[in-house]
């Protein structure tokens, strides 16, 4: 185990008979020792120059400064961190004499902890060893058996609703008959809006949790906020101080996670804690009641996820999804910004002890055994490996965690990938959450050069089969296929066909696979495009798009990348299904899946051309050049080609799509058979028009959409997602829209429903989305029937 400079300093103090008692008490999980408050530099602040949480505190609502920290505040935090590092280093070298003088009064309770004096250092070492053993035994007890999980209904305790991520609620107060009476119960404005260099980069995608009387929210820049679930009144907020330069592509925090320590006594600080991972790659734990950092977790409530990743390049390595927590282990991956370089930060998946923040294991698919407990001193996790940027699903009963894996760091070229990358790229991987070892994996694309990474969180169901049920996983994919897999083995419960005779192209024909898997259960994928599918606002648009269609390389599904001319990728990399995932009504046996139906128009950029265009990776960006929006001129350093992506292929003449509508839809699928029950376009033309001018037409054209839905026992589907900025209630039996409300910005977030004092609420974050061009807002809007 590696120790920070602060730990080293404290151990040096212990050898002098100073201050070790309270430190050991905290490390062993005891609550009677001295808890140093945030901001105290001796032992409450990280000693490293990048100190997690340095100088940051949680503030009650009455403190008007709580949400006012800006980039100008960061030097003060850094200065505090540097001062702490100097104090720690000086204390270690001089026997911590100054530290001893400062702590004499406050450390008095340590005398009751039987800490050996300076003349008996061996006993102190034994005490430390005993504490470590107690800690290990405590952690192991969490992992030996399932913990009791919170249920969905009155609460919404997980990002996916319940522990199975079904996005289903048994609440039924709001019905198909009275949903038209819904009104806004309250609107909470978080105050988290883009400033300075964050302008044009906001895509919050936030889904709150509801537990007890409170909602737990994260802002786009990772500010944690607790509010009353019935009024929106603020309880507390904690700002981890994430800087604008940490934004990878968009400022996004999809949500947070909760963990309750089964060994803690009622009323203990951090007995239940909010766990968040941040854009600047930190893992944070705060007390659910107060928002104060959990000081026994990492350093002052923070674990640095950059540990053993390599050089810090802000924006290249970030976390946007809520961690999964299984058997007391926090499991997280990270978003690695696409298209930059082959030698990108590792896609390693790590598990951390939920009580202490200690590394429990690492799954580095390039060095699985060597790096299980972290890489050797001076080395880093394998660079450029596939990552998991989306949300994992915890299986507390089996002790597994299901990881939807992405592609390698260079998405559109694969001849230089390793065998390990090929084995796990674009696969669902089940890990033993207690050891980090692979239980099974299921691959959805062979030799992926289309950026078809798995974006959807999987859903756990008891799947009906042969008169009984099988514990199963529902796996949606960007290419539209939906798979049903055995949860214990990863085997498909339905035949997996192989599409054969696929084109191989002329860039790397020996690498491109001429077969690909396809689900026989269900696919959201539409038929291949033809020239007749080209469309436009005017006849000139239509003619231009049809000409471009004939000029492009397009041989149907899985057309490989090309450089001599554009190639058409259909469906595009937004799906099919994406991060919003599916919802499941287990009572009716229905899957609800919204999807996109729009192509990308791409071209590989030869290296010489990329140099002429001054396309640079994120680690070389300056005022003269660098990569812009994801896919728009990505350099792909280490490959012979960069990449241009026109996502949601549009005509440059009017900025209208080149293909005919619908561009997105929502579908009901019979869970047992995979048959389509109904399929409807989702989204109107009210905000669409040439050159970005809204038409205000209520025509149901089906727009691109991002974000998922929630289903209730009363037969309602609530969903935002579409680019018309409407929040809808849809009849699960027919697909008919029964109610809608205009949002201040796009509802590109998964909604929730919950209950307070017998009253049912439905909430969505209307934050907008820069990529979807749906505006900017900080509004969390709760709806309910009139009292």
Contact 306, 341 (CB under 8 A): no
Look at the chain and report how many structural domains it folds into.
2
Q: How far is CA 603 from the centre of its chain?
A: 29
* Mode of pairing for the β-strands spanning 641-647 and 664-670: unpaired
The SS3 call for residue 736 is coil
The answer to whether residue 74 scores a pLDDT higher than 80 is no
Burial bucket for residue 203 (CB in 10 Å: 0-12, 13-18, 19+): buried
Q: What six digits make up the tokens of 409?
A: 């760091």
Output the pLDDT for position 689. 85
Number of other CB atoms surrounding residue 202 within 10 Å = 26
pLDDT band at 45 (very low <50, low <70, confident <90, very high): very low
In a shared domain, residues 80 and 218: yes
The answer to whether residue 436 scores a pLDDT higher than 90 is yes
Instruction: For residues 616 and 637, give the distance between their C-alpha atoms in angstroms, rounded to a whole number.
Output: 8
Burial bucket for residue 6 (CB in 10 Å: 0-12, 13-18, 19+): buried
Q: Which of 286, 321, 356 is a domain's end point?
A: 321
In a shared domain, residues 107 and 5: no
Tens of pLDDT, residue by residue over 323-343, are 999 999 999 999 999 999 999
**Which DSSP letter does residue 379 get?**
-
Q: How far is CA 370 from the centre of its chain?
A: 27
Output the pLDDT for position 426. 98
Instruction: For residues 450 and 525, give the distance between their C-alpha atoms in angstroms, rounded to a whole number.
Output: 15
Which of 72-81, 187-196, 647-656 has the least mean pLDDT?
A: 72-81
pLDDT band at 32 (very low <50, low <70, confident <90, very high): very low
Please confirm, yes or no, whether 451 is among the known catalytic residues. yes
Instruction: For residues 747 and 301, give the distance between their C-alpha atoms in angstroms, rounded to a whole number.
Output: 32
Set 239, 364, 451, 578: catalytic member: 451
In a shared domain, residues 24 and 53: no
For residue 156, being part of any structural domain is answered with yes
In a shared domain, residues 210 and 241: yes
CA atoms within 13 A on the CB side of 782: 25
In a shared domain, residues 11 and 90: no
Which residues, in sequence order, are CB contacts of 126 under 8 Å at separation 6+?
none
Instruction: Give CA torsion, residues 562, 566, 567, 573, to 10 deg.
Output: 110
Q: Which of 298, 321, 344 is a domain's end point?
A: 321
Phi-psi sector, 91: left (phi>0), alpha (psi -120 to 50), beta: alpha
Instruction: Give CA torsion, residues 135, 396, 336, 771, to 10 deg.
Output: -130
- Please tell me which residue, 88 or 315, carries the higher pLDDT value: 315
Tens of pLDDT, residue by residue over 442-475, are 999 999 999 999 999 999 999 999 899 999 999 9
Full residue range of the structural domain in which residue 165 is found: 41-169+204-321
Instruction: For residues 283 and 301, give the distance between their C-alpha atoms in angstroms, rounded to a whole number.
Output: 8
Tell me the mean pLDDT in the region 17-39: 32
Q: What are phi and psi of 723, to 5 degrees?
A: -85, 5
In a shared domain, residues 25 and 49: no
Output the pLDDT for position 690. 87
In a shared domain, residues 113 and 225: yes
Tell me the mean pLDDT in the region 157-176: 98
pLDDT band at 141 (very low <50, low <70, confident <90, very high): low
In a shared domain, residues 148 and 288: yes
Contact 337, 248 (CB under 8 A): yes
For residue 409, being part of any structural domain is answered with no
Which of 86-95, 285-294, 776-785 has the least mean pLDDT?
A: 86-95
For residue 697, being part of any structural domain is answered with yes
Instruction: For residues 494 and 474, give the distance between their C-alpha atoms in angstroms, rounded to a whole number.
Output: 12
Q: Which of 257, 289, 321 is a domain's end point?
A: 321
Tell me the mean pLDDT in the region 698-717: 96
In a shared domain, residues 15 and 118: no
Percentage of the chain beyond pLDDT 90 is 76
- Helices vs strands, H then E, count in the chain: 8, 42
Tell me the mean pLDDT in the region 376-398: 97
pLDDT band at 126 (very low <50, low <70, confident <90, very high): very low
Tell me the mean pLDDT in the region 112-137: 41
Which residues, in sequence order, are CB contacts of 565 under 8 Å at separation 6+?
551, 552, 553, 603
Tell me the mean pLDDT in the region 377-403: 97
Which of 108-117, 209-218, 623-632 has the least mean pLDDT?
A: 108-117
Taking alpha carbons only, the member of 265, 263, 394, 385 closest to residue 322 is 394
Looking at the DSSP assignment, which residues form a beta bridge with residue 402? 393, 430
The answer to whether residue 556 scores a pLDDT higher than 50 is yes
pTM above 0.75, yes or no: yes
Rounded to 5°, the CA angle 249-250-256 comes to 125
Q: How far is CA 258 from the centre of its chain?
A: 15
Tell me the mean pLDDT in the region 102-129: 36
Query: Within 320-438, where are the H helices?
Result: 419-424
Output the pLDDT for position 133. 52
Tens of pLDDT, residue by residue over 746-763, are 999 999 999 999 999 999
CA distance from start to end of the chain: 57
Tell me the mean pLDDT in the region 297-313: 97
The answer to whether residue 418 scores a pLDDT higher than 70 is yes
In a shared domain, residues 229 and 317: yes
In a shared domain, residues 141 and 258: yes
For residue 522, being part of any structural domain is answered with no
Instruction: For residues 653 and 643, give the distance between their C-alpha atoms in angstroms, rounded to a whole number.
Output: 22
Number of other CB atoms surrounding residue 586 within 10 Å = 16
Write the CATH number for 724: 2.40.128.630
The answer to whether residue 380 scores a pLDDT higher than 70 is yes
Percentage of the chain beyond pLDDT 70 is 81
Which of 50-64, 330-344, 386-400 has the least mean pLDDT?
A: 50-64
Instruction: For residues 124 and 23, give the distance between their C-alpha atoms in angstroms, rounded to a whole number.
Output: 12
Taking alpha carbons only, the member of 328, 236, 332 closest to residue 278 is 332
Phi-psi sector, 128: left (phi>0), alpha (psi -120 to 50), beta: alpha
Instruction: For residues 628 and 640, give the distance between their C-alpha atoms in angstroms, rounded to a whole number.
Output: 20
In a shared domain, residues 13 and 140: no
Tell me the mean pLDDT in the region 602-618: 96
pLDDT band at 140 (very low <50, low <70, confident <90, very high): low
Rounded to 5°, the CA angle 327-162-271 comes to 50
Q: What are phi and psi of 41, to 5 degrees?
A: -85, -15
Which of 68-82, 237-251, 559-573, 592-606 has the least mean pLDDT?
A: 68-82
Tell me the mean pLDDT in the region 257-283: 96
Taking alpha carbons only, the member of 431, 245, 260 closest to residue 349 is 431
Instruction: For residues 294 and 107, give the distance between their C-alpha atoms in angstroms, rounded to a whole number.
Output: 20
The answer to whether residue 29 scores a pLDDT higher than 60 is no
Contact 261, 278 (CB under 8 A): no
Q: Which helix (H) or strand (E) holds 468?
A: strand 468-476
Q: What is the mean pLDDT of the chain?
A: 85
For residue 326, being part of any structural domain is answered with no
For residue 59, being part of any structural domain is answered with yes
The SS3 call for residue 224 is strand
For residue 382, being part of any structural domain is answered with no
The answer to whether residue 743 scores a pLDDT higher than 70 is yes
Q: What six digits make up the tokens of 299?
A: 């350093």
Tell me the mean pLDDT in the region 735-739: 98
Output the pLDDT for position 631. 65
pLDDT band at 68 (very low <50, low <70, confident <90, very high): very low
- Please tell me which residue, 133 or 81, carries the higher pLDDT value: 133
Output the pLDDT for position 289. 97
pLDDT band at 12 (very low <50, low <70, confident <90, very high): very low
pLDDT band at 537 (very low <50, low <70, confident <90, very high): confident
For residue 19, being part of any structural domain is answered with yes
Taking alpha carbons only, the member of 604, 629, 163, 199 closest to residue 413 is 604
Taking alpha carbons only, the member of 396, 685, 434 closest to residue 537 is 685
Number of other CB atoms surrounding residue 245 within 10 Å = 13
pLDDT band at 92 (very low <50, low <70, confident <90, very high): very low
Instruction: For residues 558 and 535, give the distance between their C-alpha atoms in angstroms, rounded to a whole number.
Output: 22
The answer to whether residue 603 scores a pLDDT higher than 70 is yes
């Amino acid at each position: 185990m590696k120790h920070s400079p602060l730990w080293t300093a404290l151990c040096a103090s212990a050898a002098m008979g100073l201050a070790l008692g309270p430190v050991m008490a905290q490390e062993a999980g005891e609550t009677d020792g001295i808890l140093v408050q945030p901001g105290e530099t001796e032992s409450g602040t990280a000693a490293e120059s990048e100190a997690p949480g340095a100088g940051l505190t949680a503030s009650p609502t009455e403190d008007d400064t709580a949400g006012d920290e800006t980039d100008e505040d960061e030097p003060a935090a850094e200065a505090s961190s540097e001062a702490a590092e100097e104090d720690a280093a000086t204390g270690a070298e001089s026997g911590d004499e100054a530290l001893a003088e400062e702590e004499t009064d406050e450390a008095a309770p340590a005398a009751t902890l039987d800490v050996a004096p300076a003349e008996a250092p061996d006993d102190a070492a034994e005490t430390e060893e005993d504490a470590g053993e107690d800690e290990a035994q405590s952690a192991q007890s969490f992992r030996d058996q399932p913990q009791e999980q919170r249920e969905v209904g009155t609460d919404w305790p997980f990002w996916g609703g319940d522990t199975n991520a079904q996005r289903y609620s048994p609440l039924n107060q709001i019905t198909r008959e009275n949903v038209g009476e819904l009104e806004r119960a309250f609107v909470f404005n978080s105050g988290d809006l883009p400033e300075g260099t964050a302008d044009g980069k906001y895509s919050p995608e936030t889904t709150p949790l509801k537990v007890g009387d409170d909602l737990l929210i994260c802002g786009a820049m990772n500010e944690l906020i607790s509010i009353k679930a019935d009024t929106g009144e603020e309880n507390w907020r904690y700002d981890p101080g994430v800087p604008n330069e940490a934004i990878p592509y968009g400022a996004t925090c999809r949500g947070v996670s909760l963990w309750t320590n089964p060994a803690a006594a009622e009323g203990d600080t951090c007995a239940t804690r909010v766990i968040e991972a941040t854009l600047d790659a930190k893992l944070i734990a705060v007390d659910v009641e107060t928002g104060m950092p959990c000081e026994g977790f990492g350093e002052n409530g923070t674990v640095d996820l950059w540990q053993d990743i390599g050089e810090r390049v802000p924006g290249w390595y970030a976390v946007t999804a809520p961690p999964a927590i299984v058997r007391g282990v926090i499991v997280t991956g990270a978003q690695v910004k696409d298209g930059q370089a082959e030698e990108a930060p590792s896609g390693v998946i790590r598990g951390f002890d939920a009580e202490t923040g200690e590394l429990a294991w690492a799954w580095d698919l390039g060095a699985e055994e060597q790096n299980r407990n972290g890489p050797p001193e001076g080395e880093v996790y394998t660079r450029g490996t596939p990552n998991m940027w989306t949300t994992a699903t915890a299986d507390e009963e089996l002790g597994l965690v299901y990881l939807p894996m992405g592609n390698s760091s260079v998405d559109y070229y694969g001849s230089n990938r390793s065998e390990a990358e090929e084995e796990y790229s674009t696969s669902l991987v089940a890990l033993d959450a207690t050891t980090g070892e692979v239980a099974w994996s299921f691959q959805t694309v062979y030799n992926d050069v289309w950026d078809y990474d798995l974006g959807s969180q999987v859903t756990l169901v008891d799947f009906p089969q042969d008169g009984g049920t099988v514990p199963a996983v529902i796996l949606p994919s960007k290419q539209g296929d939906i798979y049903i897999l055995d949860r214990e083995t990863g085997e498909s419960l339905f035949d997996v066909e192989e599409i054969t005779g696929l084109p191989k192209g002329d860039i790397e024909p020996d690498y491109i696979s001429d077969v690909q898997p396809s689900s026989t259960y269900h696919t959201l994928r539409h038929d291949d495009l033809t020239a007749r599918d080209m469309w436009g606002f005017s006849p000139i648009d239509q003619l231009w798009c049809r000409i471009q269609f004939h000029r492009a390389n397009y041989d149907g599904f899985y057309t490989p990348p090309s450089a001599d001319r554009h190639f058409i990728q259909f469906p595009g990399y937004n799906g099919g299904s994406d991060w919003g995932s599916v919802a499941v009504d287990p009572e009716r046996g229905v899957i609800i899946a919204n999807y996109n139906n729009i192509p990308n128009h791409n071209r590989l950029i030869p290296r010489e051309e990329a140099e002429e265009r001054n396309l640079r990776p994120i680690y070389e960006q300056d005022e003269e050049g660098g990569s812009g929006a994801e896919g728009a001129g990505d350099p792909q350093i280490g490959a012979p080609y960069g990449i241009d992506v026109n996502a949601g292929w549009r005509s440059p003449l009017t900025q209208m799509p080149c293909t005919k509508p619908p561009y997105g839809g929502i579908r009901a699928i019979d869970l047992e058979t995979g048959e389509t029950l109904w399929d409807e376009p989702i989204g109107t033309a009210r905000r669409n028009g040439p050159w970005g001018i809204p038409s205000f037409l209520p025509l149901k054209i089906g727009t691109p959409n991002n974000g998922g839905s929630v289903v209730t026992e009363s037969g309602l589907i609530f969903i935002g997602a579409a680019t018309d900025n409407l929040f809808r209630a849809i009849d699960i039996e027919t697909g008919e829209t029964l109610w809608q409300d205009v949002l201040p910005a796009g509802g590109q977030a998964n909604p929730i429903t919950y209950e307070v004092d017998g009253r049912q609420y439905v909430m969505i974050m209307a934050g907008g989305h820069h990529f979807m061009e749906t505006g900017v807002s900080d509004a969390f809007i709760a709806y309910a029937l009139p009292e």
